[in-house]
Amino acid sequence: MCFLDAFNLILFDLDGLLVDTEHLHFRAYTQMCEQHGFSISWSFKQYCTLAHIGNNAIKEEIQKKAEFAKKIPWSVLYEEKQKIIKDLLVTENIPLMPGVEKILTLTSNKKRCVVTNSTKLIVANIVNKNSILRTIPYWITREDYENPKPAQDAYKAAVLRYGKKEDKIIILEDTIKGLMAAKGFGIRVLICPKDHAQALDEDIIHFSSLNELCSIKDFN
């Protein structure tokens, strides 16, 4: 008996949960700022804390410290960042997070869906470099809903499209904004190191890694 046997539908985040792309996003923001003559002084850990809170935290931090970001619309700057990340996803290695192969093997008989803020193009580049991700049959990408996480649109789309009334649903996320987006759709599980700076609601289950989750036998 495995913890995951109790569920019919498993919803996965992508970046930071299944694939290690956070460093690439950090580099993309760094390079975008450098193109405008500004050097980001955050550490990678500080970046992750901002990125995992919500969509506006990075924007607000850059606008607070960089003069160029007060003059140029954020939509323009974000598009510059997105172009850089797309290029990095083509040229750089994109490793799986620890435990991904194990959890996908354990759940091969389950309905599984990735629910991501990433676009179809970005997803295609990631999947091309990690063929095991092709074993996940369903994907909800940025084109499939209106408002990104932490809005609930993405998970609502996934449940409406792939869920059934009788399904017991589990949602695996690595960020606060992801957990906010998933509220009310099933059992929410946070996968991140125990010292990660995240605030948890009482109904959220926490594991330090996918490997730890896979080792748990019973769901209570």
pLDDT tens-digit readout, 141-179: 999 999 999 999 999 999 999 999 899 999 999 988 899
What does the DSSP assignment read for 90-149? HHS--PBPTTHHHHHHHTTTSEEEEE-SS-HHHHHHHHHH-GGGGG--EEE-GGGSSS-T
Residue 201: pLDDT band (50, 70, 90) is low
Is residue 170 within 8 Å of residue 4, measured between CB atoms? yes
For position 15, what pLDDT does the model report? 93
For position 220, what pLDDT does the model report? 61
3-class DSSP assignment, residue 189: strand
Is residue 177 within 8 Å of residue 150, measured between CB atoms? yes
pLDDT digits (tens, 9 = 90+) for 35-78: 999 999 889 888 888 887 766 889 999 999 999 999 999 999 99
Residue 196: pLDDT band (50, 70, 90) is low
- Structural domain harbouring 102: 3-20+96-215
Residues 121 and 153 in one domain: yes
Residues 56 and 27 in one domain: yes
How many domains, in total, are found in the chain? 2
Measure the CA–CA gap between 130 and 137, rounded to whole angstroms. Answer: 14
pTM: 0.88
Last residue of a domain, one of 65, 91, 117: 91
pLDDT digits (tens, 9 = 90+) for 23-40: 999 999 999 999 999 999
Angle at 55 between CA 13 and CA 209, to 5 degrees: 35
Output helix, strand, coil percentages for the chain, rounded to the nearest 5: 50, 15, 40
For position 45, what pLDDT does the model report? 85
Residues 170 and 152 in one domain: yes
For position 1, what pLDDT does the model report? 61
Residues 185 and 170 in one domain: yes
Residues 26 and 16 in one domain: no
Q: At what angle do helices 22-34 and 55-65 cross, to 10 degrees?
A: 30
Residues 113 and 76 in one domain: no
